[in-house]
Structure 1
Amino acid sequence: MVGTLLNAGCILAGGIAGLVMKKPLSAANQLFFKLVLGLGVIVAGLRLAWMSIASESETFVEVFQRLGLVILALMLGRFTGAMLRIQKASNRVGRFAREKMSGVRPDNANRFSDGFSVAAALFCAAPLAVFGSVADGFAGYFWPLVIKGVMDGMAVMGFVGMFGAGVILSAVPVFVFQGTITLFCSRILLPWFEQSGWTDAASAMNATAGLLIFTVSLIVFEVKKIEVSDYLPSLVFAPVLWCWLL
């Protein structure tokens, strides 16, 4: 829950900063934060993936075996996610937010509630919300959510000028959504894996989440547009493949 608490705290801090600051961040500062956050995503994702794979492997052969199964899980997950149209659902959230932002006016009576709904939808639908919460729940690895928190906080700073203080309340649904995933992983799934003899399952999910967190950096740096949400089913395939084939 540490990551979720910090994420919610960053949203609150960003909202307060947005209300206090009279000018938005300069383009140079925005570019700097983008670079730092992108590098942070790379390090956090690859570190989680490596720790999860290496902790369960005794030889380089086993490392490559587990890495290969993670890649296979990603392929199967991508295919399943595309069939379920998970990314399309995520895109609808983005379109909803853009429509609300394009139609915002200072005299709009729904400005407060619109700001809350836009921020909550965007922050909860972000891929890092799920992948980071999984890592926090299984391994107590909260850094992806810290990075997401900084991103959310910077976004709130901009949203406050458009929608007012309503966006700050988005910290509540973010806390509930991510906290639920984290607690489900740590209090329900992890004990169940251990009782079922699937001792590698949590590491498999963490390794997969780590690689998916890494791919977010490609979006941050605008290298490639990846439909990350379609890979969510990979988190189900990875533990099955690890526990059945190794």
Structure 2
Amino acid sequence: MPGLGTLVNVAAIVVGGSLGLALGGRLPERTRTVVTDALGLVVLLIAALNAAEVLSPDLTTAVGSAAPTLIVLGSLLVGGIAGSLLRVEERLEQLGRLVRAALTRRTAAVGAQGGARQPSAAGGTAAPAAERFVEGFVSSSLVFLVGPLAILGALSDGLGNGIDQLALKAALDGFTAVAFAAALGAGVLASALPVLLYQGAFTLLGVLLGSVLPDAHIAALTATGGLLLVGVALRLLRIRDLPVADLLPALLVAPALTALAAAF
């Protein structure tokens, strides 16, 4: 069922955030590192399965046996050049900083209008609950949304390729929600709503593409997305911080190149 992956993702954030509120800051850093490494290895497995679509009979029938690899290569090159020129990754990071700064300034202004902060038990100044809520909401939302898995997984779900990628993202987000909620409080739970809307939109886009794109085009898109997942895995494993977001335009190029190759 299209959309199931996003629902699983949202549930993982809510459960992880609730667990984080209960645990507080007692989660060891070593545990977080081990879990992240394990998830990185699983991403590599899913990436390999997706990349294997380059051998899809539908794709080889449409473009020949030699062309699929060239289509994936061309998609990554053209998409990477376009993404780097457009500075997709940098703009996503800038957007995140702007949203955080804007909401933080707005909350600070409301707090100033409301009067002086209440002194804390230690003799300092306690941060307003609203400011802490916004920080938790914004920080966690950016982590959950600004990443290629949110787009790749939702598209894959909508295209009917299963929820493997979003299930993996759910595991990542759920564990991250534990850490965020332990440090930043209940605002992390509210970040489940933008995840639902954002990934739901890309799932719907995948459903629409699946109804108009031939199987060969979908196979090329899936294979290209599999290589992007390798980049995600390398980042999780702290091997290489690849600018995966700059490569996202390759997902648009892959079907176009497949159509071009099939025409000749």
- TM bucket (normalised to shorter chain) is 0.7 to 0.9
Which of 80-89 and 108-117 deviates more?
A: 108-117
* Cα distance change of structure 1 residues 175 and 231 upon mapping to structure 2, 3 Å threshold: same
Question: Which of 191, 209, 224 is the aligned partner of 1:189?
Answer: 209
Q: Distance in 2 between matches of 1:43 and 1:97?
A: 34
Does residue 6 (structure 1) correspond to residue 8 (structure 2)? The answer is yes
Aligned to 2:120: none
TM-score normalised to the size of structure 1?
0.87
Write the mapping of 1:1-246 to structure 2, written as runs, cut at 5 A.
1-51=3-53, 53-57=55-59, 62=64, 64-93=66-95, 95=97, 107-108=127-128, 109-186=130-207, 188-193=208-213, 198-246=214-262
Contact 2:137 2:189 in 1 (8 A): yes
Larger radius of gyration: 2
Q: CA deviation at 1:68?
A: 2.0
> What residue ranges of structure 2 are gaps of 5+ in the alignment?
105-124
Q: Following TM superposition, by how much is the alpha carbon of 1:27 offset from its aligned partner in structure 2, in angstroms?
A: 3.3
Number of aligned residues: 238
Contact 1:49 1:206 in 2 (8 A): yes
Where does the alignment leave 5 or more consecutive residues of structure 1 unmatched? none
Contact 1:93 1:122 in 2 (8 A): no
For the residues of structure 1 that align with 2:175 and 2:184, how far apart are their CA atoms?
15
Change (3 A) 1:141 1:121: same
Cα deviation, residue 64, structure 1: 4.5
Between the aligned partners of 1:31 and 1:166, the Cα distance in structure 2 is 24
% of aligned pairs identical?
Answer: 30
Tell me if the contact between 2:24 and 2:182 (Cα under 8 Å) persists in the aligned partners.
Answer: no
Q: CA RMSD in A?
A: 2.5
1:220 is displaced (CA, Å) by 0.7
Q: In the TM superposition, what is the alpha-carbon distance from 1:241 to its structure 2 partner?
A: 0.6
For residues 102-124 of structure 1, the C-alpha deviation after alignment (integer angstroms, 9 at most, x for no partner) is: xxx95234111221122112211
2:54–2:68 Cα contact (<8 Å) kept: no
Query: Higher mean Cα deviation, 127-136 or 29-38?
Result: 29-38
